[in-house]
């Protein structure tokens, strides 16, 4: 059993003295693990940084086996954010969430593309907004997408400032006035009507955290990545 595919490094764990078990998000084969011989060497550790894009070849005697990877670096995304704590936290958080949330060996080519695109934006000024938007795309990929296009109660498309914690749909100012204490704030940059400034990024992170925890993490007895808490402080 063997295949070759492009992948993004999600995590690695030492195995024995010199090898490492590496998890990749591959374009066509989903989240996939494999043993990299010499993965703890100085040369390989530079390639196997979470967030880096690699070309991987996987081989195993049987499909259900762990198998082995050989990898070549395609794009060193991690090196471009290594000196910036906020951007590095966003990259680490995204890799951890994919590693936690996705089942193994289930193709998610759209998520691969969205993660790749988000990493390309991290060096830019709008990196924090791009990260929050990516978490929305992760929720959608997992089947829990939010509908922020119109008010859940009235259907209007203007003055949308809340999100229903039950339905994940937007709510207008007027329709939500009586229930505002129970509704989640809707940052306007997520619907193209404002910039990710002030508390907007923090509100966006709280919004996506609520649905990630409710639908994905809590049922698996998992927690949000530690790195994620550093994003709002650095944005």
DSSP one-letter code for 62? S
What does the pLDDT look like over 119-172, one tens digit per residue?
999 999 999 999 999 999 999 999 999 999 999 999 999 999 999 999 999 999
| Three-state secondary structure string covering 150-205 | CCCCCCCCCCEEEECCCCCEEEEHHHHHHHHHHCEECCHHHHCCCCCCCCHHHHHH
What does the pLDDT look like over 195-217, one tens digit per residue?
887 799 999 999 999 999 999 99
Percent of the chain with pLDDT over 70: 100
pLDDT attached to residue 43: 87
Mean residue pLDDT of the chain comes to 96
Cβ count within 10 A of residue 114: 20
Q: In which residue ranges of the chain is CATH 2.40.50.140 found? A: 2-75
The arithmetic mean of pLDDT across residues 73-96, rounded, is 97
The arithmetic mean of pLDDT across residues 16-35, rounded, is 96
Q: Is the pLDDT of residue 235 over 80?
A: no
Measured at the CA of 85, the angle between CA 11 and CA 218, to 5 degrees, comes to: 50
Distance CA 21, CA 118 (A): 25
The arithmetic mean of pLDDT across residues 212-227, rounded, is 97
The CATH topology of domain 2-75 is OB fold (Dihydrolipoamide Acetyltransferase, E2P) (2.40.50)
pLDDT attached to residue 42: 86
Lowest mean pLDDT among 38-47, 142-151, 176-185: 38-47
């Amino acid at each position: 059993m063997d295949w070759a595919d492009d992948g993004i490094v999600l995590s690695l764990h030492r195995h024995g003295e010199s090898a490492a078990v590496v998890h990749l998000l591959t374009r066509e084969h989903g989240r996939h693990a494999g043993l990299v011989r010499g993965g703890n060497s100085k040369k390989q550790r530079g390639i196997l940084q979470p967030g880096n894009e690699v070309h991987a070849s996987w081989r195993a005697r049987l499909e259900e086996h762990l198998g082995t990877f050989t990898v070549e670096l395609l794009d060193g995304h991690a090196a471009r954010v290594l000196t910036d704590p906020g951007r590095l936290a966003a990259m680490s958080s995204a890799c951890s969430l994919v590693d936690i949330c996705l089942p193994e060996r289930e193709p998610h080519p759209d998520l691969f593309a969205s993660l790749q695109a988000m990493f390309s934006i991290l060096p830019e000024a709008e990196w924090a907004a791009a990260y929050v938007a990516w978490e929305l795309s992760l929720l959608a990929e997992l089947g829990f997408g939010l509908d922020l296009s119109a008010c859940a109660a009235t259907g209007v498309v203007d003055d949308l400032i809340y999100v229903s914690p039950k339905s994940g749909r937007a709510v207008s100012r007027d329709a939500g006035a009586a229930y505002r204490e129970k509704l989640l704030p809707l940052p306007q940059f997520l619907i193209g009507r404002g910039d990710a400034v002030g508390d907007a990024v923090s509100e966006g992170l709280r919004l996506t955290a609520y649905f990630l925890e409710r639908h994905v993490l809590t049922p698996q007895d998992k927690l949000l990545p530690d790195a994620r808490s550093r994003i709002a402080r650095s944005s």
